[in-house]
Amino acid sequence: MFIDSGTVAADFIWNGLLLPIVSERVIRILKQNNIEKFSTYDIRITHKNKEIPGYKGLVILGRGGSTDPKSYIDGKIPGTDIQKIKGIFPTKWDGTDLFTLDDMYLMALATDRVKTIFKKEKVTNCKFKSAEEFRLGY
């Protein structure tokens, strides 16, 4: 993996592949707070031919089912097969604090509990947006 943009290594490193890369500090925070249903994998990060240690790939194992079809707005985004969406409403959420949706598996979703923990711990390069406010295709 390579850093897509930015100059300072933060707790989250996002890349063009939409795969979350997190610092070992984030993994420690998740474990200390009993956030479950995630796994990690080893990665190698380079920036300007210099390796940056202390990061893992994050795999979110919690599931929320599909987005509630009532949240879909009529029509597809022009030139794609993606339905326009207003809000995200999981249909079969397993109750985990970190989860993804079957029809939006590259999007990480988290409970307010995770948001509160991350804010308290001052986790960097991670922003939260309310599921009700999410917009796709506008």
In this predicted model, what pLDDT tens digit does every residue of 73-124 receive, in sequence order?
Answer: 666 767 776 666 677 778 899 999 999 888 777 778 899 999 999 999 999 9
Burial 44-56 (b: 16+ CB within 10 A, else e): ebeeeeeebeebb
Q: What one-character DSSP code corresponds to residue 130?
A: -
Looking at residue 1, its pLDDT comes to 39
Give the confidence band of 35 by pLDDT, cuts at 50, 70, 90: very high
Looking at residue 57, its pLDDT comes to 92
Residue extents of the structural domains in the chain: 12-136
Q: Which residue has the tokens 């097969």?
A: 81
- 3-class state of residue 113 by DSSP: helix
How crowded is residue 117: how many other Cβ atoms within 10 Å of its Cβ?
A: 18
Q: What one-character DSSP code corresponds to residue 33?
A: T
Q: In this predicted structure, which of 12-21, 40-49, 102-111 has the lowest mean pLDDT?
A: 12-21
Query: What pTM does this model have?
Result: 0.78
Q: In this predicted structure, which of 16-20, 56-60, 64-68 has the lowest mean pLDDT?
A: 16-20
Asked whether 10 and 125 are in contact (CB, 8 A), the reply is yes
Of 38, 36, 29, which is closest to residue 120 (Cα–Cα)?
29
How crowded is residue 84: how many other Cβ atoms within 10 Å of its Cβ?
A: 16
Asked whether 88 and 131 are in contact (CB, 8 A), the reply is yes
